[in-house]
Structure 1
């Protein structure tokens, strides 16, 4: 339980002044969450902030403008108001540093703000139920952790473990309802897919999810959604309340004799009619992938697994003549029909998996026909964007990384000449230049500009970012006015402008996008709204959330350009 200060001093209430006026505190909206009837919003914000300032995170590419945890914690401890009190209550639970958690608890014991019962009982939550939804195709499973507070609130955290990506947590979120309610809501959508719900041993669930989180954190590029990985501190806190000592499942080990038996049974089955002895090698390849990757179950094949096999694994891993590999889709269709029959997979699900083979067969054939395609170590280097080297055993990784960063910066500013000519002068405080915008959309662009300014003022707090966003908005509107003639809301357009420029300047990290969009009352993703804006300035083919290039320094702040110059000059 969150400690309370002893004594008869009258508790302070919202709106009273501590060391700083409540309405002047930049985090005042967090204090307002103490007025709610449920802790979810506060837990979500606190978890996001704990994740963003986690010093153990390692970012690839340009150094991020990460919040220093020590500095933020000291600030929260020094300012006594509802917002800092609320955050300290969450940090006392979710921070991974025990000493930091104890400092939060000690400070809370001396705070006198009137807080709701659920806040004072925040640390008394118990995991009342652990359940799992099991996918018959083996693509992934949802783990449900149902938390109860003595004050009556309920919260369920759902973690999706994706087996095709290596049994990693791909997504997680929290909802204020019981597991049974969630099952009732989802059952109409999953009953015909053979998905079942089962209870799970709490200790085993803890071991399994913690392992999946660790593997997820080592995945490159990182897995991200609107709620993952920023919910990770909250999920880890819930897991810590489960008993330890459980064991995560180990990958199945298949003996050669067992695999030979599977091959023999398949080739002798009616599904294999029309195949010949030469196709046995292809069955071996299918079983190699089926037993060593994904779920490790050679009898369960879902659409994602087939897609990975055809478009990535075989072209990258298997060295064989085109004529031999070209028969793989034929053999795979027959094998999946047989394997699904052996596993009792519903025919409807099998049809969906087989349809994926039809969908990607042409792409697969094109991939294996490419004699220049990278394979083995060369393919691994290519995935990370490194140039392939014939001498694979004497790789200067530091030089390779520096070369990749340099190449990324050159693309970001539009070429070598622009890269060498970079300066670090601050962007001026420019007005919105509507003169170049067609008359019929000028009013709308001006309104979008006002929304953009609000985000820049309230979230970024940076005049240079405001100028960069205004430039991008005007260039997009003048480059393709049709984007602004379509009937749609202005807030998503403004959010897309800020999302693009924020990413290009390295200003949006884990969890920041949701907080930024909340300024405009938005939830979810605006990447789809950003695509036509990017095409309007000619950056549609070079911008992505992992390589956010706009092809010009025009939209880059002095801090971003200074970082590029420092790396360019070796400083």
Structure 2
């Protein structure tokens, strides 16, 4: 370097974070945390933006060569027109460290990562400053919202004046849609089922529902109408000003037509949707005209797909020794399950057995799928028996277990078995999607919910023979192609 280094670089031991300020908005999409830093010859401010809609993650950060009082004053003046909507509060250095560190760490496992002109370039500086701050503060950790709480909250929404106009008949999906929307907000948008903003409306309508929810067309078309009632209830509960509620309602109106178009066109769901966004898979409709750079499987790195397939069965060693011996017709094994939930687990298992018999009686997969579902049920009960101590219906639990077993074995397809997820739910007398009911069970099985589940559990002992045979054949074909 020809130009001189700043003189304070030789006096790093004199640098100290001295103040932290949190600045945010009532709708809670994100917030700035400003760190005031004393330098050997002056002051600077590090401004960290934390996004709560993407999972409480650092989305950007800046180094500003100004004292923190000046930076905070400028930001407050910019938000003066929104008086009453924004807040500015002092944080202890320990709390600021805990919050920023949590958001930085979550960002490390977020894909695709957030990248700007300054982030993650300044991450080493941010992490170094955090190391100079006191530990033991309070982060963003919130109480986990479980299925019982969501069910109770759904009941409150449906019984409130804000539900006027929602359908309550036996053939109506509205209550299930309310529950689905609350689950998505709780699991995917920062943990609060009642936090709704124009941004969260856009994310739910244009990404989460089309990508994650498997339901019939009538159910999906009804979502925007039901969402308006959920927003009205949520904002009344949170005391949100009427003009912000109007802005959020306007967002539903703005994105509704695009949402309806999205759900009526071919689209990938689950992990395939993530792979398409990563550029590993081409668009489902195959329309790549005019885009010479569009990714295709012909250009793919086959080692990536090989590894994905190997992980489905537990790794490369498990794949190389994979056979297609049928799973035995074995009973539900509760030897590792606490005794006080045995009766409840047996009741759920009986409902699963009945559904398998009703749905797959004419398919060779039936006895193997029943065994896979029993094994999954037993593992869930052994890992988190509290799931079966909660006041929830055996029917809903059984639907979630069978959905997990059927998903890992790819049986819910009109072309493969003639049985869809909708048909399975109907067999249980339920409507909508079972994915929300399955969240605590997936967590018990080691799935990092609420991250995207790739429909695998990494254990060949939970796969029926046909699925293992197809996986092995596809794996061998990919090896030859690669």
Give the TM-score normalised by structure 2: 0.55
**Which residue matches 1:213?**
104
Tell me whether 1:129 sits opposite 2:19 in the alignment: yes
CA contact (8 A) 1:136 1:300 kept: no
Tell me whether 1:399 sits opposite 2:294 in the alignment: no
Structure 2 CA distance for aligned equivalents of residues 184 and 351 of structure 1: 29
CA contact (8 A) 2:43 2:66 kept: yes
Equivalent residues in 2 for 1:249-328, closer than 5 Å: 249-277=140-168, 278=172, 279-328=174-223
Instruction: Please give the root-mean-square deviation of Cα atoms over the aligned residues, in Å.
Output: 2.7
Is the partner of 1:121 in helix, strand or coil? helix
**Which residue matches 1:482?**
none
Is the partner of 1:214 in helix, strand or coil? helix
Instruction: Give, in angstroms, the shift of residue 215 of structure 1.
Output: 2.3
**Which residue matches 1:175?**
64
Structure 2 CA distance for aligned equivalents of residues 259 and 402 of structure 1: 37
Instruction: Give, in angstroms, the shift of residue 226 of structure 1.
Output: 1.9
CA contact (8 A) 2:145 2:191 kept: no
**Which residue matches 1:380?**
274
CA contact (8 A) 2:47 2:61 kept: yes
Instruction: Give, in angstroms, the shift of residue 384 of structure 1.
Output: 2.3
Query: Are residues 206 and 142 of structure 1, via their aligned partners in 2, closer, same or farther at CA, if it must alter by over 3 Å?
Result: same
Instruction: Give, in angstroms, the shift of residue 269 of structure 1.
Output: 2.1
Equivalent residues in 2 for 1:95-106, closer than 5 Å: none
**Which residue matches 2:125?**
234
Is the partner of 2:100 in helix, strand or coil? helix
**Which residue matches 2:78?**
189
**Which residue matches 1:149?**
39
Structure 1 CA distance for aligned equivalents of residues 39 and 274 of structure 2: 47
Query: Are residues 247 and 186 of structure 1, via their aligned partners in 2, closer, same or farther at CA, if it must alter by over 3 Å?
Result: closer
Instruction: Give, in angstroms, the shift of residue 204 of structure 1.
Output: 2.8
Equivalent residues in 2 for 1:516-555, closer than 5 Å: none
Is the partner of 2:79 in helix, strand or coil? helix
User: Which 5+ residue runs of structure 2 have no aligned equivalent?
Assistant: 283-299, 307-480
**Which residue matches 2:232?**
337
Deviations 1:199-222 (A, max 9, x none): 223223213212322222333333
User: Which 5+ residue runs of structure 1 have no aligned equivalent?
Assistant: 1-26, 32-81, 87-114, 389-396, 404-569
Instruction: Give, in angstroms, the shift of residue 281 of structure 1.
Output: 0.9
**Which residue matches 1:245?**
136
**Which residue matches 1:200?**
91
CA contact (8 A) 2:24 2:30 kept: yes
Instruction: Give, in angstroms, the shift of residue 343 of structure 1.
Output: 0.3
Deviations 1:167-201 (A, max 9, x none): 11100002122333222212233242611111223
CA contact (8 A) 1:140 1:163 kept: yes
Equivalent residues in 2 for 1:28-107, closer than 5 Å: 28=2, 31=3, 82=4, 86=5
Is the partner of 1:177 in helix, strand or coil? coil
Structure 2 CA distance for aligned equivalents of residues 252 and 363 of structure 1: 34
Structure 1 CA distance for aligned equivalents of residues 281 and 16 of structure 2: 51
Query: Are residues 121 and 400 of structure 1, via their aligned partners in 2, closer, same or farther at CA, if it must alter by over 3 Å?
Result: closer
Is the partner of 1:295 in helix, strand or coil? coil
Give the TM-score normalised by structure 1: 0.47
Structure 1 CA distance for aligned equivalents of residues 232 and 68 of structure 2: 34
Count of aligned pairs: 287
Q: Which moved more, 1:376-385 or 1:264-273?
A: 376-385
CA contact (8 A) 1:164 1:293 kept: yes
CA contact (8 A) 1:386 1:400 kept: no
CA contact (8 A) 1:127 1:145 kept: yes
Instruction: Give, in angstroms, the shift of residue 334 of structure 1.
Output: 1.6
**Which residue matches 1:139?**
29
Rg (Cα) greater in structure: 1
CA contact (8 A) 2:166 2:226 kept: yes
**Which residue matches 1:349?**
244
Query: Are residues 186 and 247 of structure 1, via their aligned partners in 2, closer, same or farther at CA, if it must alter by over 3 Å?
Result: closer
Is the partner of 1:172 in helix, strand or coil? strand
Instruction: Give, in angstroms, the shift of residue 353 of structure 1.
Output: 1.7
Deviations 1:492-512 (A, max 9, x none): xxxxxxxxxxxxxxxxxxxxx
Deviations 1:216-240 (A, max 9, x none): 2333333122211111122112111
Equivalent residues in 2 for 1:6-21, closer than 5 Å: none
**Which residue matches 2:474?**
none
Structure 2 CA distance for aligned equivalents of residues 226 and 377 of structure 1: 29
Structure 2 CA distance for aligned equivalents of residues 178 and 337 of structure 1: 41
Instruction: Give, in angstroms, the shift of residue 120 of structure 1.
Output: 4.2
Structure 1 CA distance for aligned equivalents of residues 87 and 66 of structure 2: 19
Query: Are residues 252 and 400 of structure 1, via their aligned partners in 2, closer, same or farther at CA, if it must alter by over 3 Å?
Result: farther
Structure 2 CA distance for aligned equivalents of residues 385 and 122 of structure 1: 43
Instruction: Give, in angstroms, the shift of residue 400 of structure 1.
Output: 5.7
CA contact (8 A) 2:182 2:194 kept: no
